[in-house]
């Protein structure tokens, strides 16, 4: 069923037409006399339309009760709103009447309703009267309170808030969350016009982000705008401050992303655009003042009643008094309120563990003792309960006992080592995939790394399923790979421990500064399989001599610079090559990426006969070409890569590139996207969940 945004019920015979027409300018409107055949029973198309609407707006006028159609419609609106637990919202408009008239406390509608009783019977009209009274009790708009222009502005603003509800996806099993939500909502003190920050403080894996999502879903519709910025700490480490500022502005204002030249310009935009708006902003996972200062530094940036919620493991960067740090209690200091997250109570911990380990609320009798001991050793940490419980699902009792012995060797407070027990249950290929995701593929659409793992003779479809069932990763509704930050940190710590002193002996180098140092000092080894060299303070050229130390490199991400020198027999193991701002003239000679599977070029000026296409398209089994935000006049010749599965030319300026005849020969292509700056996209497959194998 199509989801409609807004249904208007209006019997004014054109009197309120200007209201309806002007509301259309801001909202997708379905009016009862447009799309429903006149005279059709209320149980037909009209009822289906009302059920599919997010918002219904009855416009009460002096003639409203004269229309049996409108009264039937109103009764259906009220019934649907009751049955959908508030999901269908009624927003009444009192045009030339008042709420008392609609509540039938005056005689305005008396004569009309009497006539309806004679025609339709007392029982039908009784239902209509109840609907009138119930709708009139809902706070709406009275035209007498202001002119039509102001009224319509308020209606559009309110409806956009309701329609702009961006619900966050929550875990399947929420246990012990309601008391926490009530505590946080109480601290938020929504009735206060003050602007303040609420800080959710607690150790990693304790459920701060989940709690923030539940609160966001519950209260976001009460604000003029809202935004949830996930994993701020990691994003800003990667130099994505401007990207976060754009996201904050776009989500809160419900506009397309605003162009921002630098972080100072972003701060100016935030201050200017939010100072008169009541906003809700969630900043997930902060640990430095600089992160907060780029996004929501001061209360006076925001309108009255705004709330900024911060989740953090460490409050030392906040200007709090020492008593809080010593007492570790829920207290308030100036504009900051602190909510201290505690571990789950035993009963809730047991329930959560059982849901993941047994898919029910209580264990079988023969597992009662061992499950109780494992829960005690795991503690009340939701992430550990979920991961360890999921890892034990469908395992034999001896496996459970062995896991308990391993937990006995881990200090109770060492969460990562507890989680590592689940990692050690994986086979070699599954471990490699887990570590690849932890270091490089969080937020990436699953299909792209899938092709790399497939080329390495892994079994990514089943391996990803295993990781997801063990709660070590998640795949969201957009088919993107996600991982809890504590599990990400576990994966990266495993890599760091491969060699604590010499980074060049580690397998994956995700920190650009460390990767750059390893490359420039030629301290790389055959162990290195992945390098990320983006977000550096200046561009660097890289030589063949530097890469000669990395014979097994299979993942490379560059930003700017060039490749220079003789690359014969170098980078032959490379499967993934991503280059932001690649050079228009590649300096490397004899470069041949003969095993490349994924090619991504971004934000680049690529000439018509670019000399990089030959080296990059040398592998007949190349699976993906993704060219994004590039100046590109003509596509390359695809005749050397006839097994291509995904081809994307996205956001090109000033027009879409010319396609040669070779594109018609790509018979195995499953996704084609071509989108110029001002041109609609063309796709063979529009679903992110298409089957790539």
Residues known to be catalytic: 73
Tell me which residue of 591, 638, 644 sits closest to 622, measured CA to CA: 644
Q: Which residues pair with 456 in a beta bridge?
A: none
Cα-to-chain-centroid distance, residue 236: 17
Cα-to-chain-centroid distance, residue 286: 17
Q: Look up residue 651 and give its two tokens.
A: 């956001």
| Cβ count within 10 A of residue 108 | 17
Query: Are 214 and 309 in contact, with CB atoms under 8 Å apart?
Result: no
Distance of alpha carbon 610 from alpha carbon 587, whole angstroms: 11
Q: Which residues pair with 585 in a beta bridge?
A: none
Residue 120 neighbours by CB under 8 Å, 6+ apart: 68
Query: Are 55 and 7 in contact, with CB atoms under 8 Å apart?
Result: yes
Residue whose entry in the numeric block shows the structure tokens 């162990």: 527
Residue 493 neighbours by CB under 8 Å, 6+ apart: 416
Q: What is the DSSP annotation of 84-141?
A: TTT-SEE--EESSS-HHHHTT-SSTTHHHHHHHHHHH-HHHHHHHHHHHHHHHTS--E
Locate the DSSP E strands across 217-331: 225-229, 279-284, 307-312
Distance of alpha carbon 230 from alpha carbon 283, whole angstroms: 7
Q: Is 430 exposed, middle or buried (0-12, 13-18, 19+ CB in 10 A)?
A: buried
Q: Which residues pair with 559 in a beta bridge?
A: 580
Residue 292 neighbours by CB under 8 Å, 6+ apart: 283, 286, 310, 317
Distance of alpha carbon 256 from alpha carbon 246, whole angstroms: 9
Strands 474-475 and 481-482: antiparallel
Side-by-side strand order, sheet with 587-589: 542-543, 563-566, 587-589
Residue 683 belongs to what H/E stretch?
Answer: strand 682-683
CA angle (214, 217, 223) in 5-degree steps: 130
3-class DSSP state of 675: strand
Distance of alpha carbon 308 from alpha carbon 51, whole angstroms: 35
Distance of alpha carbon 145 from alpha carbon 94, whole angstroms: 10
Radius of gyration of the chain (CA): 30
Residue whose entry in the numeric block shows the structure tokens 């596509």: 635
Query: Are 596 and 616 in contact, with CB atoms under 8 Å apart?
Result: yes
Q: Is 523 exposed, middle or buried (0-12, 13-18, 19+ CB in 10 A)?
A: middle
DSSP 8-state code for residue 257: P
Query: Are 390 and 470 in contact, with CB atoms under 8 Å apart?
Result: yes
Residue 579 belongs to what H/E stretch?
Answer: strand 576-580
CA distances from 443 to 66, 476, 477, 565 (A): 56, 9, 12, 34
| Burial track 206-216 (b if 16+ CB lie within 10 A, e otherwise) | bbbbbbbbbbb
């Amino acid at each position: 069923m199509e989801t409609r945004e807004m249904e208007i019920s209006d019997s004014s015979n054109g009197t309120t037409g200007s209201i309806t027409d002007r509301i259309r300018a801001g909202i997708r409107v379905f009016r009862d006399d447009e799309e429903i055949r006149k005279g059709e029973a209320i149980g037909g198309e009209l009822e289906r339309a009302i059920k599919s609407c997010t918002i219904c707006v009855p416009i009460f006028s002096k003639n409203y009760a004269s229309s049996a159609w409108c009264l039937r419609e109103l009764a259906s609106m009220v019934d649907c709103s009751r049955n959908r637990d508030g999901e269908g919202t009624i927003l009444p408009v009192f045009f030339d009447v008042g709420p008392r008239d609609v509540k039938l406390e005056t005689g305005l509608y008396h004569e009309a309703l009497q006539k309806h009783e004679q025609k339709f019977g007392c029982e039908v009209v009784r239902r209509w009267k109840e609907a009138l009274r119930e709708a009139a009790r809902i706070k709406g708009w009275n035209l007498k309170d202001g002119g039509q222009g102001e009224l319509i502005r308020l209606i559009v603003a309110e409806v956009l808030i309701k329609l702009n509800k961006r619900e966050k996806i929550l875990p399947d099993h929420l246990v012990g969350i309601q008391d926490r939500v009530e505590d946080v909502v109480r601290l938020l003190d929504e009735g206060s016009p003050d602007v303040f920050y609420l800080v959710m403080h607690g150790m990693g894996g304790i459920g701060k982000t989940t709690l923030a999502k539940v609160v966001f879903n519950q209260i976001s519709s009460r604000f003029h705008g809202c935004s949830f910025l996930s994993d701020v700490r990691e994003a800003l480490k990667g130099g994505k401050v401007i990207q976060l500022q754009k996201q904050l502005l776009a989500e809160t204002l419900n506009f397309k992303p605003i162009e921002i030249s630098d972080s100072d310009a972003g701060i100016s935009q935030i201050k200017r655009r939010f100072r008169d708006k009541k906003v809700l902003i969630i900043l997930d996972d902060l640990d430095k003042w600089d992160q907060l200062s780029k996004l929501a530094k001061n209360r006076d940036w925001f309108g009255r009643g705004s709330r900024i919620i911060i989740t953090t493991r460490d409050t030392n960067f906040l200007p709090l008094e020492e008593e809080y740090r010593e007492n570790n209690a829920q207290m308030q200091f100036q504009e900051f309120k602190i909510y201290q997250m505690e571990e789950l109570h035993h009963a809730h911990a047991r329930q959560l563990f059982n849901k993941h380990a047994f898919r029910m609320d209580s264990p079988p009798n023969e597992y009662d003792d061992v499950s109780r001991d494992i829960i005690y050793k795991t503690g009340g940490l939701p992430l550990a309960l979920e991961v360890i419980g999921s890892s034990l699902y469908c395992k034999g009792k001896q496996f459970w006992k062995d896991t308990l012995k391993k937990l006995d060797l881990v200090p109770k407070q060492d969460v990562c080592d507890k989680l590592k027990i689940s990692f050690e249950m994986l086979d070699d290929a599954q471990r490699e995939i887990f570590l690849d995701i932890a270091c490089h593929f969080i937020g990436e659409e699953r299909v792209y790394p899938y092709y790399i793992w497939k080329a390495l003779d892994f079994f990514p479809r089943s391996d990803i399923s295993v990781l997801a069932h063990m709660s070590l990763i998640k795949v969201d509704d957009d088919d993107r790979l996600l991982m809890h930050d504590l599990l990400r940190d576990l994966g990266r710590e495993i890599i760091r421990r491969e060699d604590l002193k010499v980074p060049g002996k580690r397998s994956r180098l995700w920190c650009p500064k460390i990767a750059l140092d390893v490359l420039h000092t030629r301290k790389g080894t055959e162990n290195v399989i992945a390098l990320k060299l983006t977000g550096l303070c200046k561009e660097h050229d890289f030589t063949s001599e530097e890469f000669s130390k990395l014979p097994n490199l299979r993942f490379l991400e560059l930003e700017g610079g060039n490749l220079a020198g003789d690359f014969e027999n170098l980078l032959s193991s490379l499967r993934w090559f991503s280059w932001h701002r690649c050079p228009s003239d590649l300096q490397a000679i004899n470069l041949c990426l003969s095993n490349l599977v994924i090619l991504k070029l971004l934000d680049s000026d690529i000439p018509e006969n670019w000399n990089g296409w030959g080296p990059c398209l040398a592998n007949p089994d190349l699976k993906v070409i993704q060219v994004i935000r590039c100046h590109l006049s003509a596509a390359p010749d695809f005749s050397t890569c006839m097994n291509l599965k995904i081809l994307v030319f996205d956001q090109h300026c000033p027009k879409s590139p010319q396609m040669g005849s070779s594109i018609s020969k790509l018979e195995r292509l499953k996704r084609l996207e071509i989108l110029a700056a001002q041109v609609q996209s063309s796709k063979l497959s529009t679903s992110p969940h298409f089957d790539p194998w």
